[in-house]
Amino acid sequence: MGVAYKAVQWNRQKFVYDIILLTTVVFYLFCFEGISLQFSSDLDIKGIWIRAFGSAAFILLHVILSIGPLSRLSPKFLPLLYNRRHMGVTMFILALLHVRDALAWYHDFGNLEPLVSLFVSNTHYTDFIRFPFEALGGVALVILFLMAATSHDFWLTNLTAPVWKALHMGVYLAYGLLVGHVVLGALETNTHPFLTLAVGVGFVWIVGLHLITALREAQKDGAPLFGQPAKPQVDADGYINVGSVNDIPDNRAKIAVIAGERVAIFKYDGQISAISNVCQHQNGPLGEGKIVDGCITCPWHGYQYLPDSGISPPPFTEKIPTFNVKLQGDQILVSAIPNLPGTPVAPAVIDQA
C-alpha cells in the first residue's frame, strides 16, 4: 500500500524474489551459450543469443501464466504472485533483446530498414505454413510492451483496476501469438520431436490449468457449467441468506455470490461484516484474505480495509463497497444491494448465548 508513488516499494521479499529471478535468468543465458560452445567453436554466436533470449522469455511466460491459477488453487503459491510484475517486466526485456538481435542479424545490413524488412520480406499472410511468423512475435511484443509500461501502480490507479486488468489480460493474446510465432517459426525449422513435445506440453499445461481453475471457481460460486445460476431468495427487506456464522472461521471470510458479484463476509471479534470481494488495488479476492490488526487484508499484496467501512486505514485512501448485514439466529443475512464505497455499516453482533 502507498500514499505516494515510488519506483518500487522495496522490502525483503521483493529483494529475495528479484535476486532469485535475475540470477536464474542470467545463469540460463550463460549456460545456454556455454553448452553451445561445448559442441563447436565455429558458432553463429548472434544466433545462439537470439535463441537463448527467445527461449528464456517463452519459458518465463509459462511460469508467469501458471502463477495466477496456481494461486487460486492453493494459497501456498501466493508468494510467487506477490512480485509477479517484476517477472513480467523481465520477460518483456528478454523478448525485447530477442527482437533486437533478430532484427539486427536477419534484417539489418540490407536494402531496407530492418523494421520494414521484418514485415514485408515474407508476405504470405494468407498461407498457414509459409505464414510470416515474425509478425506474430512483433504484435506480441507490442502487447508485452504496453503491459510492462503500465505495470506500475501509477497506471493501475489512473487507468482504474478494471481497465488495467482488462489491458493486462492481453497477456493471453500475447501468449497465443507467441505459440504461433514458435510453432510457425522455430518448430518449422527445427523438427526435433522434443521441441514439439515441449511446446505442446506447455500449451496443454497452461490451458488445462486455467480450465481446472475456472471449473473450481464455478463450483465454489455454485454456478452450473451450463445455464443460468439459481437465483438466491431475497426476503421482503431485500436481504439474502448466505449461511451460518458457524461456517466461517474466526478472522476469515466466506464468499457468497449476490446479484452476480462476489461478496466477502468476515467474522471477527464476535461480529460479522460484509464488503465487496474485489480489492481496489488489483482486484484481488479479499474474501480469501484475513483480518490482521483489525483490518481485512488482501491475500495478493496486503492491501487493508476496515471491515465496518471498507476504507483503508489512514493515511491510505482506498475505498470499496460495503453491504448491510444482520443475523437471524446463526443465519447471516446480507443486503442484495451494495452501499457506496466507504459507507460505514454497523457490524452484526453474534449472540454468544
185 is an interface residue for other proteins by CB under 8 A = yes
The C-alpha cell that represents 9 in the structure block: 516499494
Q: Please tell me the total number of residues recorded for the chain in this structure.
A: 353
One-character DSSP codes across 10-50:
--HHHHHHHHHHHHHHHHHHHHHHHHHHHH-SS--HHHHHH
**Per-residue exposure over 302-337, b if at least 16 CB sit within 10 Å of its own CB, e if not:** bbbbbbbbbbbeeeeebbbbbbbbebeeeebbbbbe
130 interacts with other proteins by CB under 8 A = yes
Nearest C-alpha neighbor of 347 from the set 306, 305, 293, 308: 308
CB of 4 to other proteins, least distance (A): 16
Q: What is the DSSP letter of 352?
A: -
Minimum Å distance from CB 280 to other proteins? 17
Task: Give dist(CA 337, CA 321) in Å, integer.
Answer: 10
Report strand pairing: 322-323 vs 304-305.
unpaired
Per the listing, cell 504470405 goes with 124
Contact with other proteins (CB under 8 A) among 106, 145, 155, 203? 106
Which residues in 12-71 contact other proteins (CB under 8 A)? Answer: 12-14, 20, 24, 27-29, 31-32, 35-36, 39-40, 42-44, 46-48, 51-52, 55, 59-60, 63
Does 113 engage in binding with other proteins (CB under 8 A)? no
Q: Are 201 and 209 in contact (CB under 8 A)?
A: no
Tell the smallest beta-carbon distance from residue 71 to other proteins (Å): 10
Phi and psi, residue 41, nearest 5°: -95, -15
CB of 337 to other proteins, least distance (A): 31
Min CB(87)–other proteins separation in Å:
11
User: Nearer to other proteins by C-beta: 76 or 231?
Assistant: 76
**Binding residue for other proteins (CB under 8 A) from 188, 237, 247, 330?**
188
**Count of beta carbons in the 10 Å neighbourhood of residue 25:** 20
Q: Binding residue for other proteins (CB under 8 A) from 53, 94, 97, 134? A: 134
Q: Going by C-beta distance under 8 Å and a sequence separation of 6 or more, which residues neighbour residue 133? A: 180, 181, 182, 183, 184, 185, 188
Q: Measured between alpha carbons, how far is 123 from 119 in angstroms, rounded to an integer? A: 7
Q: Does 2 bind other proteins (CB under 8 A)?
A: no
**Beta carbon of residue 209, minimum distance to other proteins (angstroms, whole number):** 14
Binds other proteins by CB under 8 A, chosen from 121, 160, 317, 328: 121
Q: Which is nearer to other proteins, 28 or 145 (CB)?
A: 28
In the complex, minimum distance from the CB of residue 61 to other proteins, in angstroms, rounded to a whole number: 11
Residue among 276, 328, 284, 325 nearest 302 (CA) = 284
Q: Which of 3, 4, 109, 246 binds other proteins (CB under 8 A)?
A: 109
128 binds other proteins (CB under 8 A): no
Contact set with other proteins (CB under 8 A): 11-14, 20, 24, 27-29, 31-32, 35-36, 39-40, 42-44, 46-48, 51-52, 55, 59-60, 63, 75-76, 78-79, 82-83, 105-107, 109-112, 117-118, 121-122, 130, 132-134, 184-186, 188-192, 194-195, 198, 249, 251-252, 289-290, 292-293, 297, 299, 301-302
